Structure 1
Amino acid sequence: MAIYESEHTKFMREWMEKHPEQIEEQKKGRALWWDKPQDLDSQARAQASKVPVKPYYYDINH
Protein backbone atom coordinates (compact mmCIF):
# COMPACT_ATOMS: atom_id res chain seq x y z
CA MET A 1 0.00 0.00 0.00
CA ALA A 2 1.44 3.34 -1.06
CA ILE A 3 1.47 6.23 1.40
CA TYR A 4 0.21 9.52 -0.01
CA GLU A 5 2.60 12.46 -0.02
CA SER A 6 1.38 15.87 -1.12
CA GLU A 7 3.11 17.99 -3.74
CA HIS A 8 4.00 20.53 -1.07
CA THR A 9 5.63 17.88 1.11
CA LYS A 10 7.64 16.61 -1.85
CA PHE A 11 8.70 20.15 -2.71
CA MET A 12 9.78 20.91 0.85
CA ARG A 13 11.68 17.62 1.15
CA GLU A 14 13.57 18.35 -2.10
CA TRP A 15 14.16 21.98 -1.08
CA MET A 16 15.71 20.93 2.24
CA GLU A 17 17.95 18.40 0.46
CA LYS A 18 19.18 21.09 -1.95
CA HIS A 19 19.52 23.81 0.74
CA PRO A 20 20.88 22.20 3.93
CA GLU A 21 21.74 25.65 5.35
CA GLN A 22 18.02 26.23 5.80
CA ILE A 23 17.93 23.65 8.60
CA GLU A 24 19.78 26.05 10.90
CA GLU A 25 17.47 28.90 9.91
CA GLN A 26 14.50 26.66 10.65
CA LYS A 27 15.89 25.87 14.10
CA LYS A 28 16.48 29.58 14.82
CA GLY A 29 12.93 30.45 13.80
CA ARG A 30 11.47 27.69 15.90
CA ALA A 31 13.50 28.79 18.92
CA LEU A 32 12.37 32.37 18.40
CA TRP A 33 8.65 31.63 18.26
CA TRP A 34 7.96 28.25 19.89
CA ASP A 35 10.72 26.84 22.09
CA LYS A 36 10.26 28.88 25.24
CA PRO A 37 11.15 27.86 28.79
CA GLN A 38 8.09 26.83 30.77
CA ASP A 39 7.35 28.29 34.21
CA LEU A 40 4.93 26.05 36.08
CA ASP A 41 4.15 28.67 38.75
CA SER A 42 3.02 31.28 36.22
CA GLN A 43 0.99 28.66 34.35
CA ALA A 44 -0.75 27.64 37.58
CA ARG A 45 -1.50 31.30 38.46
CA ALA A 46 -2.91 31.94 34.99
CA GLN A 47 -5.09 28.84 35.19
CA ALA A 48 -6.36 29.76 38.68
CA SER A 49 -7.18 33.34 37.68
CA LYS A 50 -9.43 32.43 34.75
CA VAL A 51 -12.97 33.76 35.00
CA PRO A 52 -15.69 31.37 33.80
CA VAL A 53 -17.41 32.47 30.61
CA LYS A 54 -21.20 32.86 30.63
CA PRO A 55 -23.14 30.44 28.40
CA TYR A 56 -24.61 33.33 26.44
CA TYR A 57 -22.46 36.42 26.60
CA TYR A 58 -25.16 39.02 25.87
CA ASP A 59 -27.73 37.69 28.38
CA ILE A 60 -27.85 40.30 31.16
CA ASN A 61 -30.15 38.21 33.40
CA HIS A 62 -27.51 35.60 34.23
Structure 2
Amino acid sequence: MKFSKQFSLYESEATNFLQNLKKANPHLEQSQRDGRALLWDKAPIDLDVASRNKESRVAQQAYVYQNKG
Protein backbone atom coordinates (compact mmCIF):
# COMPACT_ATOMS: atom_id res chain seq x y z
CA MET A 1 0.00 0.00 0.00
CA LYS A 2 1.53 3.29 -1.09
CA PHE A 3 0.90 6.57 0.61
CA SER A 4 0.68 9.82 -1.23
CA LYS A 5 3.46 12.40 -1.02
CA GLN A 6 1.37 14.31 1.46
CA PHE A 7 1.78 11.56 4.08
CA SER A 8 5.42 10.74 3.33
CA LEU A 9 6.57 14.02 4.93
CA TYR A 10 4.47 13.57 8.08
CA GLU A 11 6.24 13.11 11.42
CA SER A 12 4.28 12.38 14.56
CA GLU A 13 4.51 14.41 17.74
CA ALA A 14 6.25 11.52 19.45
CA THR A 15 8.92 11.37 16.74
CA ASN A 16 9.47 15.12 16.94
CA PHE A 17 9.70 14.93 20.74
CA LEU A 18 12.31 12.16 20.64
CA GLN A 19 14.38 13.94 17.98
CA ASN A 20 14.36 17.17 20.00
CA LEU A 21 15.22 15.28 23.18
CA LYS A 22 18.21 13.62 21.49
CA LYS A 23 19.38 16.98 20.14
CA ALA A 24 19.12 18.56 23.59
CA ASN A 25 20.87 15.62 25.32
CA PRO A 26 23.44 14.06 22.96
CA HIS A 27 24.71 11.73 25.71
CA LEU A 28 21.24 10.25 26.34
CA GLU A 29 21.64 7.12 24.21
CA GLN A 30 25.00 6.24 25.75
CA SER A 31 23.62 6.61 29.26
CA GLN A 32 20.71 4.33 28.30
CA ARG A 33 23.20 1.72 27.05
CA ASP A 34 25.21 2.03 30.27
CA GLY A 35 22.07 1.54 32.36
CA ARG A 36 21.08 -1.52 30.37
CA ALA A 37 24.55 -3.01 30.76
CA LEU A 38 24.42 -2.42 34.49
CA LEU A 39 21.03 -4.05 35.05
CA TRP A 40 20.50 -6.60 32.28
CA ASP A 41 23.67 -7.62 30.45
CA LYS A 42 25.25 -10.28 32.64
CA ALA A 43 28.33 -12.46 32.22
CA PRO A 44 27.72 -15.98 30.91
CA ILE A 45 27.11 -18.65 33.56
CA ASP A 46 29.69 -21.41 33.98
CA LEU A 47 27.58 -24.58 34.11
CA ASP A 48 30.19 -26.62 36.02
CA VAL A 49 30.43 -24.05 38.79
CA ALA A 50 26.64 -23.70 38.94
CA SER A 51 26.12 -27.47 39.24
CA ARG A 52 28.84 -27.73 41.94
CA ASN A 53 27.18 -24.92 43.90
CA LYS A 54 23.80 -26.60 43.61
CA GLU A 55 25.15 -29.97 44.78
CA SER A 56 27.04 -28.46 47.71
CA ARG A 57 23.99 -26.75 49.23
CA VAL A 58 22.84 -28.03 52.59
CA ALA A 59 19.12 -28.71 52.80
CA GLN A 60 17.32 -26.42 55.22
CA GLN A 61 14.36 -27.56 57.29
CA ALA A 62 10.97 -26.06 56.51
CA TYR A 63 10.70 -23.96 59.66
CA VAL A 64 14.13 -22.84 60.79
CA TYR A 65 13.25 -21.98 64.38
CA GLN A 66 11.60 -25.28 65.24
CA ASN A 67 13.72 -27.82 67.07
CA LYS A 68 13.85 -31.38 65.86
CA GLY A 69 12.71 -33.38 68.75
**TM-score with structure 2 setting the length:** 0.47
Give the Cα–Cα distance (whole angstroms) in 1 for the partners of residues 66 and 36 of structure 2: 42
How much does 1:25 deviate? 1.1
Q: CA RMSD in A?
A: 3.0
State the Cα deviation string for residues 3-38 of structure 1 (Å, max 9, x = none): xxxxxxxxxx88x82236422212112223431222
Match of 1:42 in 2: 49
Match of 1:51 in 2: 58
Give the Cα–Cα distance (whole angstroms) in 1 for the partners of residues 55 and 29 of structure 2: 39
Bigger mean CA offset, 17-26 vs 50-59: 17-26
Match of 1:22 in 2: 28
Match of 1:6 in 2: none
Question: How many residues matched?
Answer: 49
**TM-score with structure 1 setting the length:** 0.50
Return the index of the structure with the highest Cα Rg: 2
Match of 2:6 in 1: none
Greater RCO (Cα-Cα under 8 Å, separation 6 or more): 1
